[in-house]
Amino acid sequence: MRRVLMKTALLSALTAALLTLTAAASVVGTGVITADSLRLRSEPNTECATVTYLTEGTGVQVYEVLDGWYEVSYGEYTGYVSAEYVAYTPADGEAVETAVTEETTEVVSAVAASAQPRDAVVDGSSYINLRADASNSADIITTLDEGTELTVLSVDGEWCCVEWEDETGYVNANYIYVDGILMADPRGIVTGSCVNVRSQPSTDSSILTKVYAGSTVELISLEDGWYVMNCDGVAGYISAEYVYPYNPAAASAVGAEAVELAMGYMGVPYVYGGSSSRGFDCSGFTMYIYGLLGYSLPHSATSQWETVGTYVERSDLQPGDLVLFCDPSRSNGKACSHVGIYIGNNEFIHASSSDGVRINSLDESYYNGYYKGAKRLG
């Protein structure tokens, strides 16, 4: 189980922010990336390691002007970028100091948000015990029914310290959800192909880093359509449109594993008849993913519809379910023309004949109109 950001992580993030502010004294200017995607390198040399990628429009602090290179910082990263792709502005003293202060304040705001008490609800069990300490042997203060609303004060592993009415105690984090986020495993799965992590819950705020489809981030809370999150030590905001919380209660163990495996093949090209990591067609993709889990699926969408698993109503879809479609213009009279894997949030991952392995929504007119049904394995 993964842990939500705890006090140590919060202090580390705040300390890093303060160090960024302190470093303002050595800033010689600012820069804006002009290339679509620019490597931030460990040394001023194209042969050196890539630290991260900076996208067009990203602002950086410049610490040193070298021959063809700038030493810069961006968020928690420091390194070197080619001067050819940076619009550089020499330091203006007060203006540079102000820019650094504003960026630091924005980053700290996301960290501070994670430290606030959060409204939560009990789910996944008819009742849970509120205990005097974080131990199954601790005294039971009372029991809380499913649907009970409470306040999470902190999380440590599989225990939440909570407030309920006039009582303060500990409950099992496996049954506590904040904004749909399971406190015992607060993962979010990124569904957008390339998603910005921002310093504020706004598309106008600065970009701290980027995350990619299939990757996981640590979700903290939801704020006006944005998740407060942590990714590899970077605290920031990500649009809820491009990430969904992992929910084991809504998925079988096999289904959840199938989704996790499938996400790892985002971007693999479409190959007619393909069923390997070099290229897939739609049924070859589902056959390959479930083959990794020990299931033998036929290499045909129609055969998977007719011979595999149990039928599932659309209203009962769970991550890992096969979703099938029938476009008469492409089915050649067969029952199905396409198949993918449901990942949650009304979205599915599939091998598209136009774009390879990608994610689409079942609400899109084409997929909604030709939706055939779903089958569940496991």
pLDDT on residue 289:
93
Q: Are 236 and 301 members of one domain?
A: no
Q: Are 231 and 242 in contact (CB under 8 A)?
A: no
Same domain, 255 and 332: yes
Domain boundary among 91, 114, 137: 114
Report the SS3 class of residue 52: strand
Asked if residue 316 and residue 202 are part of one domain, the reply reads no
Rg over alpha carbons for the chain, rounded to the nearest Å, is 24
**Is 1 within a domain?**
no
In contact, 17 and 107? CB cutoff 8 Å = yes
User: For residue 214, how far is the Cα from the chain centroid?
Assistant: 7
Q: Let me know whether 126 and 158 are in one domain.
A: yes
Query: Are both 36 and 105 inside the same structural domain?
Result: yes
Q: Is 299 a catalytic residue?
A: no
Amino acid 214: pLDDT: 65
Choosing from 161, 231, 282, 336, the catalytic residue is 282
Instruction: Examine the domain organization and report whether 137 and 53 are in the same domain.
Output: no
Residue 225 belongs to a domain: yes
* The model's pTM: 0.51
Q: Are strands 243-245 and 176-178 parallel, antiparallel or unpaired?
A: unpaired
**Domain-located, residue 303:** yes
**Which pLDDT score is estimated for 11?**
36
Look up tokens 């096969």; give the residue.
322
Does residue 110 share a domain with residue 123? no
Clarify whether residues 69 and 158 are in a common domain: no
Q: What is the 3-state secondary structure (H, E, C) of 56-103?
A: CCCEEEEEEECCCEEEEEECCEEEEEEHHHEEEEECCCHHHHHHHHHH
Task: Let me know whether 124 and 110 are in one domain.
Answer: no
CATH number assigned to the domain comprising residue 222: 2.30.30.40
Of the three residues 182, 207, 224, the one that is the final residue of a domain is 182
Structural domain containing residue 199: 188-240
Burial class (CB in 10 A: 0-12, 13-18, 19+), 179: middle
Domain contains 245: no
What local confidence, expressed as pLDDT, does residue 109 receive?
Answer: 46
Residue 335 falls inside a structural domain: yes
- pLDDT score, position 91: 75
Please tell me the predicted confidence (pLDDT) of residue 250.
57
Q: What is the predicted pLDDT for the residue at 1? A: 42
Let me know whether 110 and 127 are in one domain: no
The CA–CA distances, whole Å, from 257 to 92, 253, 278, 378 equal 53, 6, 21, 11
Question: Which pLDDT belongs to residue 327?
Answer: 96
Which residue carries 């919380």 as its tokens?
A: 245
**Residue 3 belongs to a domain:** no
165 and 216 share a domain?
A: no
My answer on whether 102 and 47 are in the same domain is yes
CA 185 – CA 174 distance, rounded (Å): 8
Task: Walk along the chain (378 residues) in steps of 10 and give the mean pLDDT of each run.
Answer: 39 40 60 79 78 74 89 81 88 45 43 66 89 94 94 88 94 91 85 81 87 78 87 83 73 81 90 92 95 89 94 91 96 95 93 93 95 92
Domain limit, last residue, from 72, 95, 114: 114
> Domain tally for the chain?
4
DSSP string spanning 253-265? HHHHHHHHHHHTT
- For residue 311, tell me if it sits in a domain: yes
Q: Are 263 and 250 in contact (CB under 8 A)?
A: no
The closest of 100, 55, 41, 95 to 75, measured between CA atoms, is: 100
> What pLDDT was estimated at residue 92?
61
Active site residue 338: yes
Q: E strands within 105-233?
A: 118-122, 127-131, 140-145, 149-156, 159-164, 167-172, 176-178, 181-182, 187-190, 194-198, 207-212, 216-223, 226-231
Confidence (pLDDT) at 105: 43
